[in-house]
Amino acid sequence: MKIDGGSLDIKVETENHETHRRISAERLRELVHRIGGSGDHFLIVQRIPDRPKVFIQVAHEPGGVYEFQHRTGSVPHMWVTEVTDPDLVADVMVRWARQEEGWDTGVVWERDELPTPAPVPAPDPEVAAQAELHVREMLADGYLDIAAIVRETVYLVEDRLTPAQAEQIVERRWLERVEEQRSWTGPTDPDRLEGAFAALERAGIVAREHFTCCRSCGTGDIVNEMEATEGARGFVFFHYQCTRSAAEGHGLTLYYGGLEHSPEATTAVGREVVAALDAAGLSTKWDGDPGKAIDVTPLVWHKRLVG
């Protein structure tokens, strides 16, 4: 099977902590061929949006076979095989990503039983209710994956849930949100925002979504990123609290600035940001004052989950 171009709705994570989203089939082939080097012996592929415990992965040591595995959800087993041809691995992965009928043909899979997980005791109802609220908020924000939401949930309820208890709540709510977003047609406002930020990046404006905890931390960190980015002329970002406000229906606040710390440079960047948002189909409120933030409003925060 020849792998053609086009974007695949997948996220690929590698041993060396790289993350690749919505890449082409040819790029996936390159990543498969690459594994085997120092610190880069495996890759894990999940679909977008993620379905808990649904993935396909491969590991390879120089001179050895490709250890190929996939799992189909919360079942007590995985399917495993060994392959010598990286092109065959890539072919199967592409078919899996596209959910083609008969995607798993061409190799002989064997069932590998997993250890029986320990029973998860029922959580305290009051703590579980608090966790549900936190999980719904994080899902509405739309930026964290399942593992990160589990960690945050345990932290937010002050370790009164075990990770396994939190995982059950998160996975159930995650799947509900995935089903909900199936009804969202066309580009959503967060999709438009992502497009505007990508355009600004190409134009030399460092643009970051859901960036750090607050304005103070964000301003310091993004200035460092801007100064380390070749060709950067300015920045724009919004922080976690801005995301929460947008998800609650209050619009989105953007902070911006120029490489040259002058009112003129800041105003110029602000105008570029407003123009990019306008071109993406978003409305803004800003009077041109470099001392004021840019408000994106009205805004419907339907942020699609990735995982």
Residues making up the chain, counted from first to last: 307
Q: What is the DSSP string of the chain?
A: -----SB-SEEEEETTS-EEES-BHHHHHHHHHHTTBTTB-EEEEEESS--TTEEEEEEE-TTS-EEEEEEESS-SEEEEEEES-HHHHHHHHHHHHHT-TTTTTTS--EEEEPPPPPP-PPPPHHHHHHHHHHHHHHHHH----HHHHHHHHHHHTTT-S-HHHHHHHHHHHHHHHHHHHTT--S--HHHHHHHHHHHHHHTTEEEESS-SSSHHHHHHHHHHHHHHSTT--EEEE--HHHHHHHHTTS-EEEEEEESS-SHHHHHHHHHHHHHHHHHTT--EE--S-TTSPEEE-S---------
Tens-digit pLDDT profile for residues 174-193 = 999 999 999 999 999 999 99
Q: Tell me the whole-structure pTM to 2 decimals.
A: 0.90
Residues of the chain with confidence (pLDDT) below 70 = 1-5
pLDDT at 307: 86
2-60 per-position pLDDT tens digit: 444 579 999 999 999 999 999 999 999 999 999 998 999 999 999 999 999 999 999 99
